[in-house]
Structure 1
Amino acid sequence: MPLYLIFLFLVTAALYASVGFGGGSTYNALLVLSGVDYRILPAIALTCNIIVVAGGTYAFTRSGNLRLRRIAPFLITSIPAAWAGGRIPVSETLFIGALGFSLLAAGLHLALDRNRDVDAELKPAPAALAWIVGGCIGFLSGLVGIGGGIFLAPVLYLIRWGKPKEIAGACSVFILVNSLSGLAGQLMKLGDMNALSMIGAYWMLFPAVLVGGQIGSRMANVGLSSLTIKRLTAALILYVSVRLLLRWYGMVF
């Protein structure tokens, strides 16, 4: 495994953790561009996600910014949907296309997002909306090996679900449980020990994202504004999304 890949995973984890996400979509993209067998990519990316967001979830819980009861309606459908998505075999073309467009949407969201606070009255999401949104994001998360927080965040802001730190806490636990559920589905799909040994060959990526996640959790306190960090993260995501979509275009056409 090339050393540059370990470094890129560390940097990705730091950038994503600094804005409250796990980085699964970009881990997948980096592995695709490095020529790794696409069948094992989601399992590696979801494991990295779990490592990065577990610490963030704990921190949000201790600070009182994790409203588990309020985010629970989204989790009710997202957890089984992520498992179901992880169980579905997909072609390499579909996988790269879905991942590329997911990254493009995530990059545009971060590029256009601004630091903001919510002054209007906050309110819980209608149960039906939470079930639909949670299920759709969870399924996509399991299918391509991401946590889904990057898609949940704009929805929560749009419906004025909570304050920024509360939304970050909600996204953190959403990513954690969907990554665990999606990983279970992915491992059941892989099944044989040969695939598991292939994943084990990339074990050095796991301590890399652990270190990167810890760096990211402290980045906002060393002079960089959260808006600057978002722009840097967006630039990374958009770059790899364009690379992926160009590859996907060549495969389709």
Structure 2
Amino acid sequence: MEHWEIFLFFLIIAFVYSSVGFGGGSSYLAVLAMYNLPYQEIRLTALICNVIVVVGGVYIYIRNKQIDWKKAIPITFMSVPMAYLGAIVKISQETFFLILGVTLIIAAILLWIKTDTRYDEKSIDVSKQSVSGNSMLGGGIGFLSGLVGIGGGIFLSPLLNLMKWDTPRKIAAVSSVFILVNSISGIFGQASQLTVGIDSVRVISLCLAVFIGGQTGSRISLKWNPLVIKRMTAVLVLVAGVNVLIKYW
């Protein structure tokens, strides 16, 4: 496989992030953006890796009954068709990388912001929970997710925490569902619009790396500070975003 070192990067990212409960989807995209790979392959690979990483977490949340479906369904209902729509939008490679660069920079800022995770149910702002408002928020992030090739959790989770939309644990559960359904929708959309050949060996190898790293990390309890991991990710994503803009501006 050309650029074999990406396999190692993905394995390490999946291992570290899964050990502290993160998925690492933005980091996969940031790493891929630094290589001169076909942009359609970058988007598709990032979404498939998202599904592999997050599906286990969603299963655990469902098994432990931690997902509030009455609130999860409205915010994901519009996101699924919008993610598909974003995925089938025809854009040039230059346009994609410009949007990606801006997206990564915004994501880096959101990751760097330290949200208050100590509030409880008494602090939840009910005014931020209208069905129409949740649908619009989910739909907007869903469209961007399909367009760029991310699950959308990197935007949804910080925004919901800033809004005190629900308790941090329930926000994490909803975000996992959001990432899963949007990634699947985006995959179908992008697969239907492929115009170039995909290096299937590379894609499968990276999926294998994510699976091995994620499964290993999720079974090892490491005392790493989640905030430190988030801010390390923010730096990586910021550097990748700036690099993409400089290269394709």
Normalising by structure 2, we get a TM-score of 0.89
Structure 1, 17-26 or 56-65: larger mean CA deviation: 17-26
1:40-59 equivalent positions in 2, closer than 5 A: 40-59=41-60
Taking only aligned residues, the RMSD between alpha carbons, in angstroms, comes to 2.1
Match of residue 62 from structure 1: 63
State, as a whole percentage, how many aligned pairs show the same letter: 40
Which 4+ runs in 1 deviate beyond 6 A?
none
1:67-78 equivalent positions in 2, closer than 5 A: 67-78=68-79
Distance 1:112 1:121, change over 3 A: closer
Distance 1:215 1:240, change over 3 A: farther
For structure 1, the residue ranges without an aligned partner over 5 or more in a row are none
Contact 2:116 2:161 in 1 (8 A): no
Deviations 1:50-96 (A, max 9, x none): 00000111122223322222111011100000011111111111111
Instruction: Note the C-alpha offset of 1:3.
Output: 2.2
Deviations 1:146-194 (A, max 9, x none): 0001111122113322111111111111000000000000001116xx6
Deviations 1:189-228 (A, max 9, x none): 116xx635x3444311011011222344356x32212222
Distance 1:109 1:148, change over 3 A: same
Instruction: Note the C-alpha offset of 1:45.
Output: 1.0
Matching residue's letter, 2:78: T
Match of residue 197 from structure 2: 195
Distance 1:25 1:91, change over 3 A: farther
Q: What CA distance in whole angstroms lies between the structure 1 residues aligned with 2:160 and 2:225?
A: 22
Q: What CA distance in whole angstroms lies between the structure 1 residues aligned with 2:235 and 2:226?
A: 14
1:89-238 equivalent positions in 2, closer than 5 A: 89-114=90-115, 116-119=117-120, 120-122=122-124, 123=126, 125-190=129-194, 195-196=197-198, 198-217=199-218, 221-238=221-238
Distance 1:38 1:75, change over 3 A: same
Matching residue's letter, 1:176: L
SS in 1 for 2:203: coil
Normalising by structure 1, we get a TM-score of 0.88
Q: What CA distance in whole angstroms lies between the structure 2 residues aligned with 1:85 and 1:216?
A: 32
Contact 2:117 2:168 in 1 (8 A): yes
Contact 2:13 2:24 in 1 (8 A): yes
